[in-house]
Amino acid sequence: MMRAFMVERYGGEAGVRAGEMADPQVGAGDVLIRIHAASINPLDLKIRDGEFKAILPYRVPFVLGNDLAGVVVGVGADVSRFAVGDEVYARPGKDRIGTFAELIAVHQDDVAIKPATLTMEEAASLPLVALTSWQALVERAHVRPGQKVLIHAGSGGVGTIAIQLAKHLGATVATTTSTANVDLVKSLGADVVVDYKKQAFETVLHDYDVVLDPLGGENITKSLRVLKPGGKVISIAGPPDAAFARELGANPIIRLTMTALSFQTRRRARRHRVTYAFLFMKANGGQLRELTPLIDAGAIRPVVDRVFPFEETREALAYVEAGRTKAGKVVVTMMSAA
């Protein structure tokens, strides 16, 4: 048996508790990982609260958590890429989450060797936000040298990594942040910093090629105005679109609902002669392997706000939910529970 933090019922903090669960079963293509650290993402809170029940129908009780760093302690019969003792990091596939636990089985395609220069806690802070940044800026936007990229919420989990990646890709990078984090985002490589407490970004930024939006809502509408014709807003918090519904293999009713949810946004985008796309990042060990040398070379460095012991996972979730994170990610370390 292993210790884990699980969701026993949807709908908030009261539904999460620590308990014991059977050790994971290891499939032929899986690696069994003893988790040393996991990090907390807004996605965990949304899953816990049941916001994604229609598209990610986890059956309670289930273990929460979407990021990990740890050591391989077992491999399935078909695993060729990893061996017992390897230090790894991963974002498990969306159907196999559960990193707030001592052990997890993850398909080898979703795992990568941990960057050698990072601690377990630092490595655990990266997979979800680094993959989100890569899939938005490299895969979707094809950011090229000389382009102008706006990254909202530059001191957040995604923002801190996306600024560094966009800079590495040769873009001129603008970001929005609060007064307290202006120096931090500049140190990560932001060329233009808009303090949202003092300025409205849509009045000072113009002719951008790409906007990465982790905030949603009115922020997307305003972002459409700062793009040049042909530009693109990619949101991880805005209304899902038909392409995402297709990707999920959603049923026709959910597909129609998602298309309708984003209709207004897409229509506004067309009026501005730009495009809107929704991104729900996917697990991808290959992309993590491409990111690892950038991390080891110092082109991308993790930003960790605070580390909680495993026993305080509920407190760590509450800390993130209350918006107390100053910058970057909150991490839970398992080793005190090992």
Domain borders along the chain are: 2-126+303-337, 128-278
**CB-based contacts of 30: which residues, under 8 Å, 6+ apart?**
75, 76, 79, 105, 106, 107, 108
User: Which fold would CATH assign to domain 2-126+303-337?
Assistant: Quinone Oxidoreductase; Chain A, domain 1 (3.90.180)
Question: Confidence band (pLDDT; 50, 70, 90) for 336?
Answer: low
| CATH code for the structural domain at 128-278 | 3.40.50.720
Question: Confidence band (pLDDT; 50, 70, 90) for 83?
Answer: very high
For 148, 194, 226, 298, the CA distances from 230, given in Å and listed in that order, are 13, 23, 12, 33
What would the pLDDT profile of 253-264 be if each residue is shown by its tens digit?
888 988 899 999
Under 8 Å between Cβ of 133 and 158: yes
Closest among 100, 88, 112 to 47, alpha carbons compared: 100
| b/e per residue 250-274 (b: at least 16 CB within 10 A) | beeeebeebbebbeebbebbeebeb
For 53, 122, 200, the CA distances from 318, given in Å and listed in that order, are 21, 21, 30
Closest among 39, 32, 98 to 64, alpha carbons compared: 98
> Which residues are registered as beta bridge partners of 3?
20
Q: What's this model's pTM, rounded to 2 decimal places?
A: 0.97
Q: Please say if the pLDDT value at position 66 is more than 70.
A: yes
Question: Confidence band (pLDDT; 50, 70, 90) for 245?
Answer: confident
Q: Please say if the pLDDT value at position 337 is more than 70.
A: no
Q: In terms of DSSP bridges, do strands 192-195 and 172-177 run parallel, antiparallel, or are they unpaired?
A: parallel
Measured from the Cβ of residue 53, the count of other Cβ atoms closer than 10 Å reads 11
Lowest mean pLDDT, pick from 81-90, 227-236, 256-265, 273-282? 256-265
Assigned token pair, 202 = 């849509």
Average pLDDT, the chain: 95
> Which residues are registered as beta bridge partners of 105?
32
- 14 burial (CB, 10 Å; 0-12 / 13-18 / 19+) is exposed
H-helix or E-strand spanning residue 216 = none
